[in-house]
């Protein structure tokens, strides 16, 4: 999404969903995963008569509340969306003015969409042609419409194409920057958005700054740390700018390309130690490989309030350390919600027993590894202090440094004030009143300055920048192929002194673009561009002129740096339709993809997978469980709701294999692994697919590993992990695993 218009985050908010007249949900299950937030969907349905359309391989609890349900084949969202676009363009339901002013490259999309007539879409996706027509008409004609998605759209080899086509669909309908519109990706766990913003990822510095020398230098300066010292921490200078391994494939880094595993590019060495802090390792695809990776480590450290089940999965006996981490109730700090807003959390109890807070663990580690001073320097820079105060100084450090997503306004004081006064805000618009007037609840970023009120609706040009409006980000240059990438005439945010498109602001163009003159002192202090402007002059001046520091450009439907410039359908690596694999093959294999050679076409064509593994495997979530499930399965009543791992299977499918309701069954994977689970008859799945929840762990391929739990730590419920049988497959750009579209074979146990 960031490649389409600048930021890759939920554009509106959950409360704003109540303004929608149509809600289309691709591969998301908010009734299960956001039960409280789902209120807003239901209220939209109640009060706005909003049409809810669910596009999902399984008839979920969300689908039960939908007006239209489209049972789509896993991994065929692109044909479905092209099918919608085909009808939208054909019938003239698209917003021409919006496309002209604010979108680049829609022509190529229109060309591709012409190919996807409803009959073809029906063949590929399994959704009947007349249903596609009905749903598209319902969605296109009831505006504003909001588009929701989650893991069902992202966890595919073409995930990064899926997440571009969905915005394109919204752009075509002019649903962006509107109340009740937008692309609302529902982030899951509490503060996963915050973790994303801090970029706990291997390809960028915090705040999406990337790994360029410029970014490193900016951070070195902002942290008060010597740039050369930072550079010296790497094995060789070039590694400073190279992407690292991902969470989904770290184990490949351990296995070092031996025994048929993918080769790695890690400077001639392999990964030796793994330090896991609050991550469900057992929720990663290809668990058998994860286990192999764990077994071959030199040292494994697991830091969690509950025993991370990686310790149970691995056969490694020595050098496995389990550190008790404190929970969020035993510490304070800010968290970020799915709608980009911040909330303060206060400590309510001291860390229990021997557990330490995450920050204390990291500080202790930094001390012993010898870089504690550099590690904490950034918190003392603002007030040139001798010592820091946690967590307020950390929050202020973030606000001081991160300008890319406009966290300047996220000082600890402001965030605390909002949380303390949360009753003073409107549920739907987020507008504050009384003392909080002029601010939006939680200060949704970007908050350009220390007094800015937040931006609840991204890309909304009907509001002034002061009020949170802005156009699309100028991130991809000023022109491409001779086409102007800046927004069209007259499409600037309200009350802007520059009424047309304008580039992102830097020290060189600020005077021209804003139409102002800087003083000599300002010219001396101003940063190179808006992202590294420590002086904040650029942001302040922009606010005065009613302009967004990041520019006002067109969103792009064409990403010329991607293997598929416009999203193209490619069958999942393990597809039940061999004929379509030939027509829509996957990508060419990608070497050195986050340091691992990753297979695409070669894996897909290794053999006709559908012959031996004819059934689609869909993984998903349960309402009473969360992630790797250790916490919830250790809770008596939550575990009692689903005490055993199970597989939702259609009665007709089960009947063909002699599997009775409640009997045990095997699920075999193309990986060569298998799991033994209980069959649960359900009509929510069709005959060609099964559904398994991924929250269980503690069993491996039919073997119960219960004896491995340290005494007193075994949860009430254990079971097979779904990821033991998820297939090989990783997104071409992000390397997210293809857990939502695999194949399997079932058997009576």
Partner 1 sequence: MSENARLKFFCDDDRCIACDGCSVACAEAHELPAGINRRKVVTMNEGIAGLEYSLSIACMHCTDAPCEQVCPVDCFYIREDGIVLHDKDACIGCAYCLYACPFGAPQFPQDGAFGIKGAMDKCTMCAGGPEETNSHEEREKYGQNRMAEGKVPVCASMCSTKALLVGDSQEISKVYRERVLSVGRGVKTQPYGWGVAYGSKI
**Interface positions with partner 1 (CB under 8 A):** 18-19, 31-32, 35-36, 38-39, 42-44, 46-49, 59, 61-65, 69, 423, 425-429, 431, 433, 623-624, 636-638, 640-641, 682-685
Percent of the chain that is helix, strand, coil (3-state, to 5): 35, 15, 50
Of the pair 407, 625, the CB lying nearest partner 1 is at 625
Q: Which two tokens stand for residue 582?
A: 């030939």
DSSP-assigned states of every residue in 203-270: T-BGGGTBS-HHHHHHHHHHHT--HHHHHHTSSSGGGGGS----TTTHHHHHHTT-TTPPPB-STT--
Looking at residue 564, the DSSP 8-state letter turns out to be S
H/E stretch holding 335 reads strand 333-336
Of the pair 59, 344, the CB lying nearest partner 1 is at 59
**Which regions of 434-543 does DSSP assign to beta strands (E)?**
479-480, 483-484
CB of 66 to partner 1, least distance (A): 8
Phi/psi zone of residue 166: left (φ > 0), alpha (ψ -120 to 50 degrees), beta? alpha
Q: Quick one: which of 148, 182, 3, 6 has its CA closest to 77? A: 148
Residue 546 near residue 464, CB atoms below 8 Å: yes
Of the pair 91, 427, the CB lying nearest partner 1 is at 427
Q: Which residue has the tokens 């992407």?
A: 243
Of the pair 65, 120, the CB lying nearest partner 1 is at 65
CB of 435 to partner 1, least distance (A): 14
Which long-range contacts link 295-301 to residues 24+ away (Cβ below 8 Å)? 296/254, 296/255, 297/254, 297/271, 297/272, 297/273, 298/272, 298/273, 299/272, 299/273, 299/274, 300/273, 300/274, 300/276, 301/273, 301/274, 301/275, 301/276
CB of 610 to partner 1, least distance (A): 25
CB of 62 to partner 1, least distance (A): 8
Of the pair 33, 336, the CB lying nearest partner 1 is at 33
Residue 144 near residue 175, CB atoms below 8 Å: yes
CB of 431 to partner 1, least distance (A): 8
CB of 453 to partner 1, least distance (A): 16
Of the pair 164, 431, the CB lying nearest partner 1 is at 431
Of the pair 115, 636, the CB lying nearest partner 1 is at 636
CB of 56 to partner 1, least distance (A): 12
Q: How many CB atoms lie within 10 A of CB 359?
A: 14
Sign of CA dihedral 555, 556, 562, 566: positive
CB of 65 to partner 1, least distance (A): 7
Q: How many CB atoms lie within 10 A of CB 176?
A: 29
Nearest 10 degrees: Cα torsion 198, 200, 202, 208 = -10
Distance, CA of 584 to CA of 605 (rounded, Å): 12
Of the pair 145, 551, the CB lying nearest partner 1 is at 145
Looking at residue 282, the DSSP 8-state letter turns out to be G
Q: Which two tokens stand for residue 632?
A: 């919830």
H/E stretch holding 300 reads strand 299-304
Of the pair 512, 636, the CB lying nearest partner 1 is at 636
Q: Is 230 helix (H, G, I), strand (E, B) or coil?
A: helix
Of the pair 35, 515, the CB lying nearest partner 1 is at 35
CB of 38 to partner 1, least distance (A): 6
Of the pair 48, 146, the CB lying nearest partner 1 is at 48
Q: Quick one: which of 735, 742, 698, 736 has its CA closest to 717? A: 698
CB of 68 to partner 1, least distance (A): 9
CB of 188 to partner 1, least distance (A): 15
């Amino acid at each position: 999404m960031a490649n389409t218009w600048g930021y890759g985050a939920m554009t509106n908010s959950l409360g704003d969903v109540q303004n929608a007249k149509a809600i289309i949900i691709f591969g998301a299950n908010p009734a299960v995963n956001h039960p409280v937030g789902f209120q807003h969907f239901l209220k939209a349905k109640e009060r706005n008569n909003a049409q809810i359309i669910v596009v999902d391989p399984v008839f979920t609890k969300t689908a039960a509340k939908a007006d239209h349900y489209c049972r789509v084949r896993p991994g065929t969202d692109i044909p479905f969306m092209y099918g919608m676009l085909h009808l939208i363009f054909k019938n003239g339901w698209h917003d021409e003015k919006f496309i002209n002013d604010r979108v680049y490259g829609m022509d190529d999309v229109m060309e591709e969409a012409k190919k996807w007539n409803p009959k073809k879409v029906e063949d590929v996706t399994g959704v009947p042609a007349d249903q596609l027509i009905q749903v598209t008409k319902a969605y296109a004609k009831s505006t504003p419409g909001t588009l929701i998605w989650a893991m069902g759209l992202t966890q595919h080899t073409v995930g990064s194409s899926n997440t571009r086509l969905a915005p394109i669909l919204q752009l075509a309908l002019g649903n962006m920057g509107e109340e009740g519109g937008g692309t609302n990706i529902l982030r899951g766990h509490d503060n996963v958005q915050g973790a994303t913003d801090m970029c706990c990822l291997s390809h960028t510095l915090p705040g999406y700054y990337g790994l360029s020398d410029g970014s490193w230098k900016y951070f070195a300066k902002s942290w008060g740390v010597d740039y050369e010292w930072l550079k010296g921490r790497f094995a060789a200078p070039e590694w400073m700018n190279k992407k690292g391994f991902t969470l989904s494939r770290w184990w490949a880094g351990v296995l070092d390309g031996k025994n048929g595993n993918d080769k790695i590019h890690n400077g001639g060495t392999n990964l030796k130690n793994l330090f896991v802090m609050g991550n469900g390792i057992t929720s990663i695809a290809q668990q058998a490989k994860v286990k192999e990776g764990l077994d071959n480590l030199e040292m494994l450290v697991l830091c969690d309030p509950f025993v991370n089940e990686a310790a149970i999965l691995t056969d490694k006996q020595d050098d496995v350390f389990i550190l008790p981490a404190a929970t969020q109730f035993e510490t304070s700090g800010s968290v970020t919600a799915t709608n980009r807003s911040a909330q303060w959390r206060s400590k309510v109890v001291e860390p229990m027993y021997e557990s330490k807070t995450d920050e204390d663990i990291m500080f202790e580690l930094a001390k012993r590894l010898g870089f504690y001073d550099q590690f904490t320097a950034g918190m003392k820079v603002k007030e040139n202090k001798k010592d820091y105060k946690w967590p307020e100084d950390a929050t202020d450090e973030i606000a001081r440094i991160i300008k890319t997503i406009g966290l300047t306004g996220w000082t600890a004081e402001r965030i605390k004030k909002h949380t303390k006064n949360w009753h003073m805000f409107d549920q739907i618009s987020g507008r504050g009143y009384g003392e909080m007037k002029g601010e939006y609840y939680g200060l949704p970023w970007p908050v350009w300055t220390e007094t800015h009120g937040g931006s609840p609706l991204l890309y909304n040009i009907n509001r002034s920048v002061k009020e949170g409006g802005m156009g699309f980000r100028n991130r991809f240059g000023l022109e491409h192929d001779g086409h102007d990438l800046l927004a069209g005439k007259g499409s600037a945010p309200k009350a802007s002194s520059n009424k047309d498109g304008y580039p992102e602001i830097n020290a060189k163009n600020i005077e021209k673009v804003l139409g102002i003159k800087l003083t000599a002192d300002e010219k001396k202090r101003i940063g190179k561009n808006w992202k590294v402007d420590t002086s904040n002059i650029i942001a302040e001046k922009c606010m005065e002129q009613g302009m967004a520091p990041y520019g006002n450009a067109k969103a792009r439907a064409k990403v010329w740096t991607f293997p598929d410039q416009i999203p193209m359908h490619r069958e999942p690596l393990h597809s039940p339709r061999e004929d379509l694999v030939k027509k829509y093959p996957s990508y060419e294999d990608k070497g050195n993809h986050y340091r691992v050679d990753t297979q695409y076409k070669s894996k897909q064509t290794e053999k006709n997978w559908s012959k031996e593994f004819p059934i689609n495997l869909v993984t998903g979530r349960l309402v009473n469980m969360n992630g790797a499930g250790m916490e919830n399965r250790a809770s008596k009543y939550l575990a009692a709701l689903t005490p055993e791992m199970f597989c939702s299977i259609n009665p007709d499918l089960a009947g063909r294999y002699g599997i009775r309701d409640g009997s045990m069954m095997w699920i075999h994977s193309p990986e060569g692994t298998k799991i033994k689970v209980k069959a649960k008859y359900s009509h929510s799945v069709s005959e060609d697919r099964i559904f398994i929840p991924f929250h269980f762990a503690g069993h491996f391929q039919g073997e119960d590993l219960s004896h491995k739990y340290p005494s007193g730590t075994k949860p009430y419920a254990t079971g097979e992990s779904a990821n033991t049988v998820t297939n090989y497959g990783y997104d071409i750009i992000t390397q997210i695993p293809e857990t939502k579209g695999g194949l399997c074979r079932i058997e009576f146990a």
